[in-house]
Amino acid sequence: MYWEPDKECMDGEELEQLQLERLQATLNRVYAHVPFYRKKFDEMGISPEDISSLSDIARLPFTAKADLRDNYPYGLFAMPMREVVRVHASSGSTGMATVVGYTRNDMRHWSNLVARVITAAGVTKDDVIQIAFGYGLFTGAFGLHQGAERIGASVIPASSGNTLRQIQIMKDFKTTALVGTPSYAMLIGETLREKGIPVSALSLKFGLFGSEPWSEAMRKEIESRLGIIATDNYGLSEVMGPGISGECLERNGLHFNEDHFLVEVIDPETLAPVAEGEEGELVITSLTKEAFPMIRYRTRDRIRILKGDCPCGRTGRRMSRVLGRTDDMVIIRGVNVYPIQIENVLTEIGGGQPHYQIVVDRNGAMDEATVLVGAEESIFFDQMKRQKDMVDRIKARIVQEIGVSVDVKLVEKKTLCRSDGKTQSVIDNRKL
């Protein structure tokens, strides 16, 4: 089943021609309207007309998350605000948030691309889709919501959290498709088991999961706990949100929506393209976005392009699951967290260079993070009250900063050092 068969099954040459035309239009747009890109292109002595083939893309500069932050909030917008109909932002509060915008056309494309992903995952207008992502600045809930409405399904904007209520809604409203993070699906499955609710009490058939890493083992577990077919879908707010790629029911890789995104895979050290099929960092250029075009955005996600055709008939390239990151970002309970955010909080509270380590575990389906803060030995001889006050202050500021609560423990500085004297900022013990 396809949503836009003429696009999803486009012949290779035709696709390349379309990509090139759209790339040229995008480059003209950013050169004319975004001073940041114009300056970068000028510095490199490139003008949009120099890009006459898709391989010329390698001559263009990369864009990184820091560029978005430096231009906070609207500096990279290519359209005036009167043309912008929606604004979203990535997680992270002060200084870390990156803001993205959409015109009416962008919204139309976005819902169509998510509609493709949803359709490929087996869902139709006859389904009742429960969106268990948090609504808000995050692109996940609204993105999937709009796509689901676009195909004409019945959408339940349940939002995230409150698992028992979530299950009650599923039962009463006869939800057939669940949308959320894979770890939340695990938690729902666990809760069903704990409460002795059989899956036969639900009407679930499909689950569309994304926004954080997961594994084949987790897929099997979710499928058996919830009695569904589970598919993976991928996206990131800087480039659009969900709708960049998604699995079809063959479940052998995530089909890119290549008529809207030009994808490259590079070696994160040398920045040169890796050989087809090798693991590397995904780099994406948007081809149709008006409000917030992105040129060669370094996603920091490690993937592989999969070889061979998919029996489903879609012709675009497919990516593997996300295999890891090329930076130190971790996703805790669906929220993207950068160690620097924790470091900033600790500096603000303690002054000086903090020593810390973030330890992430998974307890059942729940992520649990503990920040170990290296303290001077003197504090351990101090009153308990002073230690507790310190811990409470750090906890409160961290939740404010990253939007996720963590445990905080004071430890002696030396316990955080490896033998080379350095501290590893993140220890991720989760077995996905």
Report d(CA 235, CA 183) in Å as an integer: 17
CB of 287 to ligand DLL, least distance (A): 19
With respect to ligand DLL, which residue has the nearer C-beta, 58 or 323?
A: 323
Beta carbons within 8 Å of 392's beta carbon, 6+ residues apart: none
With respect to ligand DLL, which residue has the nearer C-beta, 47 or 94?
A: 94
With respect to ligand DLL, which residue has the nearer C-beta, 61 or 136?
A: 136
With respect to ligand DLL, which residue has the nearer C-beta, 160 or 237?
A: 237
Unique residue bearing structure tokens 């890789």: 253
Q: Do the Cβ atoms of 170 and 189 come closer than 8 Å? A: no
CB of 254 to ligand DLL, least distance (A): 7
With respect to ligand DLL, which residue has the nearer C-beta, 240 or 410?
A: 240
CB of 191 to ligand DLL, least distance (A): 21
Beta carbons within 8 Å of 112's beta carbon, 6+ residues apart: 3, 4, 147, 150
CB of 393 to ligand DLL, least distance (A): 28
CB of 61 to ligand DLL, least distance (A): 20
- Sign of the alpha-carbon torsion through 74, 79, 81, 85: negative
Burial 94-108 (b: 16+ CB within 10 A, else e): eebbbbbbbbeebee
CB of 322 to ligand DLL, least distance (A): 3
Q: Which residues bind ligand DLL (CB under 6 A)?
A: 90-91, 138-140, 210-213, 232-237, 241-242, 299, 301, 322, 336
With respect to ligand DLL, which residue has the nearer C-beta, 337 or 372?
A: 337
CB of 305 to ligand DLL, least distance (A): 16
With respect to ligand DLL, which residue has the nearer C-beta, 340 or 411?
A: 340
With respect to ligand DLL, which residue has the nearer C-beta, 180 or 354?
A: 180
With respect to ligand DLL, which residue has the nearer C-beta, 84 or 322?
A: 322
* CA angle in degrees (0–180, nearest 5) for 58-253-202: 140
The residues pairing with 247 across neighbouring beta strands, listed in sequence order, are 254
Unique residue bearing structure tokens 């590079």: 266
Report d(CA 337, CA 5) in Å as an integer: 38
Report d(CA 257, CA 123) in Å as an integer: 18
With respect to ligand DLL, which residue has the nearer C-beta, 41 or 214?
A: 214
Report d(CA 295, CA 298) in Å as an integer: 9
With respect to ligand DLL, which residue has the nearer C-beta, 329 or 391?
A: 329
CB of 319 to ligand DLL, least distance (A): 10
CB of 327 to ligand DLL, least distance (A): 10
Q: How many CB atoms lie within 10 A of CB 93?
A: 12
CB of 233 to ligand DLL, least distance (A): 5
